């Protein structure tokens, strides 16, 4: 059994700042050399990236100093210029594979669209990678002694669930909450211990939140990664994990072979332009991963970062229609964090342990499971990341229409001030609001998304509408500059699970009212009040 000291940083533990050498080639399909998937996040102007580029590569596109990471007016430029003139209506918002034009029109020049990776719109100083906190060896994260049984079948963790005993004289409210939580866990256990799990029952129960003790297995079932039949579960897990490890081996073996003969990957890739795409993908991933959740200690360790890099790279080369798009690095982290927590006695693992001290079998399983679940998620929203990102464009247009139906006053005010929905909601769609709320709150939100049939696409739209309308009273009193600054740094740092549940309940109401509604509903303003926590299925 590993103790806190063995899981925390040690003289051999590494906080990661550098990048691995990229793989230089791979088997399988590749994208055409002239086909760069159009993405508002596609390019990067990080100083490190520029220094790493080969001299013979095409020159980088430069961007206006007045633009932020999304190709939109920076906060500094808004302070200087104040209110922006409304855009010309009817202007073609598209782009092409030959240039990076902004979806907002020529007013904003070439789009840059490289996002920072901090939660809740955390600001950064320049493009530097922030320093990470020091591990705390006294926190006491302990590997479960039964981890081998859990590796074989996640259901083996169900009988290990223990409930703390409340002290005598605990307040009645605390006693009731404790009793309700135990009852909820037992309800999940009854479903999960069935020989054939009834997925509709599991979805209905999960909508209102999944206890951390059963979240990992429940997520894998709701995504369709784990089969509902207990008889197939062990063999399926073994097969899928082996398949992923083989994909990693194939993706990286040629890079290793190249290094063994003394040739650097960058030199090897320059021998053939066909290999350049793979190196470009790896280069961008190796830049983005250290910026992912930099305020959380868990993501500062080398073991974490190397694992995320492999997941993202293998996914990208297996999906050449989209390749890697910035923002996908955020989407893998809830899976990685939840699945890792299943093997630790204290599932709150954001600090206090170095994953590199865990058994290799545990990290391999967490990595493989995260890869397949990320793949399942992205399969449902792949239009968000393919050429021209049509899924996001449709969602932004739908959000504008839905906001007009829900709160016409707000929609009219935004139009009057010249605020385009793409300016603030692109990130909401691309990163599923992960830049606006904490990882823990994201995980709670995903409980409900996974319980919905189309949670990450259709239901997310209604969540974004509820999220925007929540700030209506403040926004209608602001001008363009104030609106943009407010929406880029929303006051959600103090949000709790209750705030997320209220948001989800409001979204459920909007979905019930407007999903499939006819055009005559346009323009009707129907704001809802508070006090709706708990609404929804289950």
Write out pLDDT tens, residues 461-512: 999 999 999 999 999 999 999 999 999 999 999 999 999 999 999 999 999 9
Lowest mean pLDDT among 132-136, 291-295, 493-497: 132-136
Number of neighbouring beta carbons within 10 Å of residue 242: 12
Lowest mean pLDDT among 162-176, 224-238, 433-447: 162-176
End-to-end C-alpha distance for the chain, whole angstroms? 39
Examine residue 423 and state whether it is found in any structural domain, yes or no.
Answer: yes
Percent of the chain with pLDDT over 90: 61
β-partners of residue 94 are none
Number of neighbouring beta carbons within 10 Å of residue 513: 15
Examine residue 445 and state whether it is found in any structural domain, yes or no.
Answer: yes
Is the pLDDT reported for residue 366 higher than 50? yes
What DSSP line would sit under 436-466, residue for residue?
TS-HHHHHHHHHHHHHSTTIIIIIHHHHHHH
Write out pLDDT tens, residues 326-353: 999 999 999 999 999 999 998 789 998 8
Residue pair 71/102 in contact (Cβ under 8 Å)? The answer is yes
Is the pLDDT reported for residue 137 higher than 60? no
Residue pair 450/438 in contact (Cβ under 8 Å)? The answer is no
Q: Average pLDDT of the chain?
A: 77
Task: Give the Å distances, CA to CA, from 307 to 349, 356, 366, 432.
Answer: 16, 10, 9, 22
Average pLDDT, integer, range 160-187: 93
pLDDT confidence of 536, banded at 50, 70, 90?
Answer: low
pLDDT confidence of 10, banded at 50, 70, 90?
Answer: very low
What per-residue confidence (pLDDT) applies to 277? 53
What per-residue confidence (pLDDT) applies to 40? 39
Examine residue 276 and state whether it is found in any structural domain, yes or no.
Answer: no
d(CA 230, CA 152): 12
pLDDT confidence of 245, banded at 50, 70, 90?
Answer: very high
pLDDT confidence of 141, banded at 50, 70, 90?
Answer: confident
d(CA 268, CA 280): 13
What per-residue confidence (pLDDT) applies to 278? 84
Examine residue 501 and state whether it is found in any structural domain, yes or no.
Answer: yes
The continuous run of DSSP H or E covering 52 comes out as helix 47-52
d(CA 251, CA 314): 7
Q: DSSP assignment, residue 62?
A: P
d(CA 323, CA 14): 29
Is the pLDDT reported for residue 90 higher than 70? no
d(CA 384, CA 39): 9
Average pLDDT, integer, range 297-314: 97
What per-residue confidence (pLDDT) applies to 255? 53
Task: Give the Å distances, CA to CA, from 458 to 33, 221, 253, 510.
Answer: 34, 20, 40, 11
Distance of CA 268 to the CA centre of its chain: 33
Examine residue 297 and state whether it is found in any structural domain, yes or no.
Answer: no
Examine residue 433 and state whether it is found in any structural domain, yes or no.
Answer: yes
Write out pLDDT tens, residues 179-220: 999 999 999 999 999 999 999 999 999 999 999 999 999 999
d(CA 385, CA 392): 8
Average pLDDT, integer, range 218-229: 98
Average pLDDT, integer, range 416-431: 97
Q: How many domains does the chain have?
A: 1
Is the pLDDT reported for residue 444 higher than 80? yes
More confident residue, 45 or 435: 435
d(CA 9, CA 296): 14
d(CA 133, CA 15): 9
Indicate the SS3 state at residue 48: helix
Residue pair 514/521 in contact (Cβ under 8 Å)? The answer is yes
Write out pLDDT tens, residues 52-79: 444 444 444 344 555 544 454 554 555 4
Of the candidates 92, 115, 106, 95, the residue with the CA atom closest to the CA atom of residue 43: 115
What per-residue confidence (pLDDT) applies to 347? 75
What per-residue confidence (pLDDT) applies to 38? 38
Q: Which long-range contacts (CB under 8 A, 24 or more apart) does 396-403 make?
A: 396/421, 396/422, 396/425, 396/426, 396/429, 397/421, 398/461, 399/425, 399/461, 399/464, 399/465, 399/468, 401/522, 402/461, 402/462, 402/465, 402/510, 402/514, 403/465, 403/468, 403/469
Examine residue 460 and state whether it is found in any structural domain, yes or no.
Answer: yes
What per-residue confidence (pLDDT) applies to 537? 63
Tokens of 196: 């054939």
- Which CATH number goes with the domain that contains 490? 1.10.472.80
Average pLDDT, integer, range 134-147: 69
More confident residue, 251 or 447: 447
Is the pLDDT reported for residue 306 higher than 70? yes
Examine residue 436 and state whether it is found in any structural domain, yes or no.
Answer: yes
Is the pLDDT reported for residue 97 higher than 90? no
> Residue 516 is part of which domain span?
390-521
Residue 532, classified by CB atoms within 10 Å of its CB into exposed (0-12), middle (13-18) or buried (19+), is: middle
389: left (phi over 0), alpha (psi -120 to 50) or beta: left
Average pLDDT, integer, range 269-291: 72
């Amino acid at each position: 059994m590993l103790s806190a000291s063995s899981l925390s940083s040690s003289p051999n533990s590494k906080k990661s700042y550098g990048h691995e050498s990229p793989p230089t080639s791979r088997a399988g399909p590749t994208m055409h050399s002239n086909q760069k998937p159009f993405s508002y996040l596609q390019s990067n102007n990080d100083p490190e990236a520029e220094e790493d580029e080969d001299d013979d590569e095409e020159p980088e596109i430069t961007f206006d100093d007045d633009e932020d990471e999304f190709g939109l007016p920076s906060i500094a430029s808004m302070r200087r210029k104040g209110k922006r003139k409304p855009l010309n209506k009817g202007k073609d918002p598209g782009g092409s594979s030959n240039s990076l034009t902004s979806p907002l029109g020529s007013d904003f020049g070439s789009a840059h669209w490289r996002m920072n990776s901090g939660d809740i719109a955390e600001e950064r100083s320049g493009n530097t990678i922030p320093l990470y906190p020091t591990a705390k060896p006294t926190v006491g994260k302990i590997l479960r002694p039964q981890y081998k049984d859990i590796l074989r079948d996640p259901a083996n963790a169900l009988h290990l669930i223990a409930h703390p005993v409340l002290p005598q004289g605990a307040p009645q409210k605390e006693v009731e909450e404790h009793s309700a939580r135990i009852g909820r866990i037992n309800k999940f256990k009854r479903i999960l211990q069935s020989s054939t799990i009834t997925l509709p029952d599991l979805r209905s129960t999960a909508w209102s939140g999944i206890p951390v003790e059963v979240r990992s297995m429940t997520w894998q079932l709701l995504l369709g990664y784990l089969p509902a039949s207990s008889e197939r579960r062990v063999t399926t897990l073994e097969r899928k994990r082996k398949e992923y490890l083989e994909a990693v081996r194939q993706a990286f073996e040629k890079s290793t072979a190249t290094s063994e003969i003394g040739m650097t990957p960058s030199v090897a890739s320059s021998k053939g332009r066909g290999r350049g795409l793979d190196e470009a993908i790896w280069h961008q991933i190796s830049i983005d991963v250290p910026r992912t959740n930099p305020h959380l200690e868990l993501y500062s360790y080398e073991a974490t970062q190397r694992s995320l890099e492999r997941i993202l790279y293998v996914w990208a080369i297996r999906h050449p229609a989209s390749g890697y798009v910035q923002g996908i690095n955020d989407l893998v982290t809830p899976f990685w964090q939840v699945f890792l927590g299943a093997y630790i006695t204290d599932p709150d693992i954001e600090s206090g342990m170095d994953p590199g001290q865990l058994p290799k079998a545990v990290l391999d399983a967490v990595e493989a499971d995260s890869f397949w679940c990320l793949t399942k998620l992205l399969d449902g929203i792949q239009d968000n990341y393919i050429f021209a990102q049509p899924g996001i464009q449709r969602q932004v247009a739908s959000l504008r229409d839905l906001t007009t139906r829900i709160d016409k006053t707000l929609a009219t005010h935004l139009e009057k001030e010249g605020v385009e929905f793409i300016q603030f909601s692109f990130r909401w769609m691309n990163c599923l609001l992960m830049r606006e709320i904490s990882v823990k709150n994201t995980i709670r939100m995903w409980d409900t998304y996974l319980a919905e049939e189309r949670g990450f696409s259709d239901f997310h739209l209604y969540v974004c509408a509820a999220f925007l309308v929540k700030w209506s009273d403040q926004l209608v009193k602001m001008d363009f500059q104030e609106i943009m600054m407010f929406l880029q740094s929303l006051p959600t740092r103090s949000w709790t699970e209750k705030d997320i549940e209220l948001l989800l309940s409001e979204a459920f109401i909007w979905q019930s009212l407007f999903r499939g509604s006819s055009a005559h509903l346009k323009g009707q303003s129907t704001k809802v009040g508070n006090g709706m926590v708990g609404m929804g299925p289950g």
